[in-house]
Amino acid sequence: MDRSRAIVIATVLVIVSIAAPLGSMMYLAWTRAVNEEQARLELFARRAIQRANISLREIRSALYAVEPLNLLPCSSDHIARMRRLTANTRTVDEIGYFENGLLKCTSWGLVNERVEQTPADFVTEDGLEVTLRMQPLITQGNAMMALQYRSHNVLTVPSRFSDVILDPGMRLAVATGSGHILGDLNAPDPDVVRRVVANPANGIDDERLIAVARGDNMVAVAMEPRSFLFERMREEELRLVPIGVLLSVLMVGLVMWSLRRRLSPLGELEIAVKKREFIVHYQPIIELAGGNAPGKLFSGGLHTGDALMLIAVASNALYGVLLKRWSLPLTTWTQLYVQAMFGSLILLPFWLAAPASPLTAQNLPMVLYAGLLASIGAPFLWMNAIKHLGAPRSALFANLLPLLVALAAWALLGEQLHAYHALAGALVLAGVIWGQRSAR
């Protein structure tokens, strides 16, 4: 195996060593965040089931207390009993008495208007006829729920079936097993609630995180925006990503140790002797300024570097498009940090395989330029440009690079500018301006 092949394999192993532990930790952080948030939502859903059971039990007790009726219908004693039950039962707002399908009296008193009994939406197993939403004609209040047992009915506020304290941003609904919504908080989407009730299971979609709890023929659905997961995920990442980084460092260190052993002079000599690879090469020096044999520059044909340059250009274009399309919940500086970290780790095998190059006063400015301006400043500005302008418009500014290089060479190195430079610069500027106007 030659030197370049060893470096390529080592690079692939380094990428895998970085991606596998970090990717596993990120996936584990996401899974843990989802499970913990769903467990929290499920806790609120179970509380809602308990609250709904209490409300239904109180209503049932109030109705059973006036049935069978052993008093003269709508007498003062009858109305007084309904009034006491209404006052003493938190869930009950009004009790009414029906005869031949017409309302005769309520806990408020006698009814002089003609009020017909509202048809029930469904009937419970113990015989309660439930009307989900109805407008009280006597009090003219908000829409209420009616539960009828024989000749009496109870009016209650639907939210009593989901009367629990929620965290900000949460939505909750309590429904029957057949999909009838008894009560809700913070206006959850009814279609989503019915879809979840039809297949009651914890889940997540593009917009929300969902958790369910089941009771006696009732299902509580709690949900919150999916964006709430990111804060929980950041907490999990703080715990798990350092573990992934440690594993990556250990695996990369093992790869580097193996590579350096393979690329050591002793290792190279041993392989060269075994393969009889001692071959003399002669590379002519071509003086471009003197015009001596410039065609020899292309005599070697295409090389690996040409393919790498093509891959780099395509990757940069894809990076610009995906950076705009994928709205990652990370700040620009965080994305830049992750990019620099992965770039450093990927280039680490090449740095270790290259000859040592100490830091000196002569090369320090170039190192600072490459480390600060080229590796931090330029990518930061590029990310913000894509964020605000989009990939197509931002890419057009890359055409200004030759013009800026020519101006920098004239200002810093004393290079001479000619008329064709000015003409080319004008064409570049015109193209960029025209492209910006067309990209809007």
Residues 250-272 have pLDDT tens digits of 888 888 777 777 666 666 666 66
Confidence at 325, pLDDT banded by 50, 70, 90: low
Q: How many Å apart are CA 251 and CA 257, to the nearest integer?
A: 10
Query: How is residue 68 annotated by DSSP?
Result: S
Confidence at 9, pLDDT banded by 50, 70, 90: confident
Taken in order 264, 267, 272, 278, is the CA torsion positive or negative? Answer: positive
284 pLDDT above the threshold of 80: no
Length of the chain: 440
- CA atoms within a 13 Å half-sphere pointing along the CA-CB vector of 373: 6
Output Rg (C-alpha) for the chain, integer angstroms. Answer: 38
82 pLDDT above the threshold of 90: yes
Burial of 413 (0-12, 13-18, 19+ CB in 10 A): exposed
Per DSSP, the three-state class of 152 is strand
The tokens for 260 are 């350096």
Contacts of 163 (CB under 8 A, 6+ apart): 51, 55, 183
Backbone angles phi and psi of 358, in degrees to 5: -70, 155
pLDDT of amino acid 288:
47
Backbone angles phi and psi of 217, in degrees to 5: 55, 30
Per DSSP, the three-state class of 369 is helix
Q: How many Å apart are CA 72 and CA 82, to the nearest integer?
A: 13
Q: Does 81 or 320 have the greater pLDDT score?
A: 81
Q: Does 223 or 368 have the greater pLDDT score?
A: 223
88 pLDDT above the threshold of 80: yes
CA dist 309 → 33, 303, 314, 382 (Å)? 40, 10, 9, 20
Q: How far is CA 36 from the centre of its chain?
A: 16
Q: What does the pLDDT look like over 177-194, one tens digit per residue?
A: 888 999 999 999 999 999
The pLDDT of 68-93, averaged and rounded, is 91
Cβ atoms 268, 3 nearer than 8 A: yes
Per DSSP, the three-state class of 222 is strand
Residue 169, Ramachandran bin (φ over 0: left; ψ between -120 and 50: alpha; else beta): left
Q: What rounded mean pLDDT belongs to the chain?
A: 81
238 pLDDT above the threshold of 90: no
Per DSSP, the three-state class of 426 is helix
Q: How far is CA 136 from the centre of its chain?
A: 45
Q: Does 395 or 373 have the greater pLDDT score?
A: 373
Q: What's the N-to-C CA distance of the chain in angstroms?
A: 52
Q: What does the pLDDT look like over 15-31, one tens digit per residue?
A: 888 888 888 888 898 88
